[in-house]
Structures are given as C-alpha cells and as structure tokens.
Chains A and B, each alone.
Chain A
C-alpha cells in the first residue's frame, strides 16, 4: 500500500564526512518495507525544492512496544537537496511516499549470496543482508568504501553484525562474512571492491548475487555473475520526478524495451538490463 505520509524526524546525524543517517518515525511505511525498496522524500513544505529525493531504506526497526515505526535512511551529501536535508532535526516533519519500487528478488531456497555494494550503494543491501541471514542463507558482503571511516559508517562499524542479525537470535553467525576494499587501503584491500570479485566467485559457491553502487561497478559485477550463470540482481539509480510510475523520467533500457526504475525497478535482473 503506497501512502503519502508525514514522518517525524527522530535523529539526523553525520556518520562520517558527507555521509548522514536520518531516522524517521512513520505509521504505515516501515512495517511494509521489503529490502531494496525506497521512499520518495519531500524536502520540507516550504522549500524551493519541488522535486522529492529518492532514498533507499537502509533499515527498519521497532520501538519498545514492538511497533515497527522507525525507518533509517543513509544519505550522501552530493548536491543542494541532500545538503538541505542535513538541516532537519528531531521533531521536524518530512513527508514521504512509500514503500516504493520493486526490491531484491532472491529465489527461494538459495544457500549462499554475495552482496556487492559500492559506497553509499551499500545502503539498500543492508536490509537484504539482515533478511537473508535470518533465512539461514550464507551471506558474503563485499563493500567498497573511500576509507576505513566510511567503511565503518556504511557497515555500522561494530554495530553492523548485530543489526544485520537483529531478528535472528541463534542465527548462525558463522555464515556471515565481510570483505572490504578501500580507496586508500586504510581498511581491507587497497583498491576497488571488484578486484576481489573473481577470487570470491571462484572460492565460494554462490547461487545469488546482488549489487548496488556506481553503474560501471554494477555492470562488472553483473558480467562476472552472468559469466558463471549465477542469478544476479542490480539496483539502478535514475532521476525521479513522480517516483510512482507516472512521468517516465526514470527510463531504463531493457531487453524488453523501456522500463521505469521507480516501479519496475530499481532492482532489475542483470540480464534484463541493456548496459
């Protein structure tokens, strides 16, 4: 059920450099979110920004009474809109449309998944990491970040494992792995996360790959997965006006013709996309 709803800012803070986390309280959206979906956020009632900003849902969680009313977004300040977003604070209202889009589509019964996130592209994969782990799937996260600080911010640092595994009491943490690459070598591999790709694909028997981040990175991951005939989902970013399928701003070229990232995606099967 897509709704337009006023959400209340619970917190909005700088995780690292230009990465921020915004936690919102919303009545109907968090409990409906599936991993990979997004919300379309209005930048205040009075601002001159008439277009909403699409942001992936990073996490959802419950209050003390078990009501799933919290929504976490992690955003990078890249322009005027995201810069303005940093000015909102606890108690402010932000209007959302959500849940939007088609999320990740892992097949039932998969055993082992590789989730490849580049920078802030990791965000929509966080929830997937949690839900796959909860299902008992072996999950390998391959994260590329600017440096160790960004990696910690994206992956939740020491908190990462607990929240990815938060609903999985007794889940097999032996089945959860992180692989890291940083641009400056301050954590993990010094270089691109895709440098580690072939090694991982050769070593483990993945039956699902999901990726989000810069499109050149996604296309490399998609090609590698397809070469090994592994089911692969990609998540594409497009500029969005309506966010609900009405304006055709967000066209994606696919083998079946033009599709809309906001409703037919943002997650697409790798082999569907014309790169």
Chain B
C-alpha cells in the first residue's frame, strides 16, 4: 500500500470521527490550538508548514518510510492546505497584545533547563493598534478562529484592549493573561489574588460578549480559589497553566542569568504540574478548560483531556519541532481510530 492509498482510505475513517469541541462558546473543529507567545500570529509557522508539507508529503511509499525526510511521519501525511496552513488547527492564540507597545526585557531572554526552558521575553509587542492593522489583517484570511491573548498593567488597560478589538470581526475570543511572571506591574500580580483576578475578569466581561478565557498561573497555593473567583466574575473558560516561576544561575559570573532574576519555566518539565492544575480545577468549576504545559504528543493531549481539558495548546514544543501541531493531529486521529473513539468529547474528564 502506498501513501496515496492511505490517504484515499482515510476520509471514510475520519467522517465518523468527530473531533470538534466547544470552548466556552468558541466552536473548534478539533481541540488543538497554540500557546500564546510561542507562535506569534502564526505567519512564520504557516510558511514552514506549507513548505514542509511539500517535502514531507512527497509520495513516499511506506516501504521507504524510514528514508522519508520528515522524522516521525512514516507513511502518514500532514493534512495541510497550502493556502491556509493554519486552518488545520481548532484555533490560534496570538502573542500577548497590550494597549501600548511594550519593549520586552533587556539581557538574555531564554535559557534551557532539563526538559524545559526558561523565558524572560517580557511580553514584547507593538500594541493593539499595530496588531489590528498588521497581523490581524493577515489572520482574517486564514480560515481559523483567532483567540487574542491580552496583557495589561492595569484593569483599565485590559479593558481598553478588549474594547479596541470588539470592532474587529476577525477576532473570535479573548484569552486574558493574568499570569505572566515576566513583567513587574500587572501580569502575574493579577492572577495570584482571587479578588484582582475577578476584577479583571468582570471588567473584560462588561466590554464583550465574545468567549472570555482567563489564563491562570500555577504560582499560587490554591489555583482552584482563583478559578472559582473568575468563574463567578463571568469567565467562559479557563486556560491553565502559564509558566512556572523559576531562575537560572551563571556560575562563571556568579550572577543570575536573567536581568529580572525570575523567569518562566515551560516545556515537558512542567507537564505534571499542568495536569494536576487541570485535574483540580476541573473538579472545582463548571467552565471548560484549555490545558497548556509541556504538551508534545497525541498521548499528552489525551492525558489532558482525560484530566478535564476541553481543548489544549501547544507551546514550547513548537520550538523543538515546528511541525508538532500538525503531527499531533495526524497521530490523534489515528489513535482515535485504533481505540474506536467516534467522538473526542467523550474523553473530557473521563478519568476513571
């Protein structure tokens, strides 16, 4: 059987597999999205996905699978539309957007750690106006729901960004970042206190009827407390988790690696922390959850869904392998077929 036959057979299997999910009012054709800040607005990855599909989806007979140029794909093919490569995703989440341009942090911005990385980017972005006239214009034609990730130094700033985006039809939902460890005023400060978390949520709620997703930090004693607070304040869904606060030390200079000392840990190293957060918050609130943290395989996606996630986002894994998301989609479909799963939603919170 060659690759061509494999794809010809696939549709009949796929027709009976329903991968769609609903994340607090946002319809997603599958549960896969991208974690804010690791994917910009998707332009860079769209180019790579389209170009790699040309190389990887060359008609490679399965007998030669080992020589196929794209690791781990074997005889399977990425289902990527070269005109709108991101349309294979359930949604895309943008880099954090703030009211005014933010310059980002000085000094080194990343470091590697065992099975993870630390970042101190500092939410560098050109501001909401530049976003609307730039990236968003491109995103509007990509045939994928757009979730805009929002950061602010004050409740009023969060609200102002939402208000500006309300007039943009290309925006499908908001993810409010009250959990970034890499900025001084605002960021994580809002997400560690249930009261301020609720305040930001309520303010954004008054500004929009669109699905409102609040992104929480694991850097708290009891994440369920904050989750309950944002639920009562009108959130439609909860994202968890943002990065875990950490630091790195340079023994040669005897100085912290990062100018701000603290940085955010992400990648496979934090997956157990993220799963535990999803599991607990799933018990504590009724809202659908977006699971984030160290996801790099279809198995990881299934784990998060079983723990209670409705959808998941791929973050650091985009750096390790830019084809992670489309590969996971292929693997996830295959896994469902072999498991006899017809509706992916049956996995949500189905932990025994």
What is A's interface to B at a CB cutoff of 8 Å? Answer: 1-6, 26-28, 42, 45, 48-52, 81, 93, 95, 97, 239-251, 258, 263
Contacts and interface: CB of A to CB of B under 8 A. Distances in A.
A45 B324 CA distance: 12
A246 B55 contact: no
A50 B69 contact: no
Contact of A50 (B40, B72, B119, B319): B319
Contacts of A245: 40, 44
A50 B108 contact: no
A261 to B, nearest CB: 11
A103 B71 CA distance: 27
B37 interface: yes
Contacts, number: 113
26 contacts: A4-B52, A4-B321, A5-B52, A6-B70, A27-B55, A28-B55, A45-B71, A45-B72, A50-B117, A51-B117, A51-B319, A81-B112, A97-B322, A239-B109, A240-B110, A241-B119, A244-B48, A245-B40, A245-B44, A246-B45, A247-B37, A247-B110, A248-B37, A249-B110, A251-B124, A263-B44
B103 interface: yes
A245 B327 CA distance: 21
A247 B95 CA distance: 9
Contacts of A52: 319-320
A49 B112 contact: yes
A249 B109 contact: yes
B115 interface: yes
Interface string B98-115: 000001100011111011
A50 B316 contact: yes
A28 B55 CA distance: 8
A43 B257 CA distance: 23
Given A242-B44, A246-B38, A249-B110, A258 B52 contact: no
B186 interface: no
A95 B321 contact: yes
Contacts of B129: none
A93 B45 CA distance: 23
Given A27-B55, A95-B71, A97-B322, A50 B116 contact: yes
B71 A249 contact: no
Given A251-B109, A251-B124, A48 B104 contact: no
Given A50-B116, A51-B112, A52-B319, A258 B124 contact: yes
A90 to B, nearest CB: 16
**Residue of B37, B51, B54, B69 contacting most chain A CB atoms (<10 Å):** B69
Contacts of A95: 71, 321
B121 interface: yes
**Residue of A3, A93, A245 contacting most chain B CB atoms (<10 Å):** A3
Given A2-B48, A251-B124, A241 B110 contact: yes
Contacts of B318: 242, 246
A245 B38 CA distance: 10
B86 to A, nearest CB: 13
Contacts of A1: 51, 54
Contacts of A5: 52, 55, 69-70
Contacts of B38: 242, 246-247
A176 B323 CA distance: 43
A91 to B, nearest CB: 12
Contact of B44 (A3, A239, A240, A244): A244
B320 A248 contact: no
A140 B121 CA distance: 39
B320 A42 contact: yes
Contact of A51 (B54, B69, B110, B322): B110
Contacts of B145: none
Nearest to B41: A246
Contacts of B121: 247-249
B186 to A, nearest CB: 18
A48 B55 contact: no
A6 B69 contact: yes
A258 B101 CA distance: 12
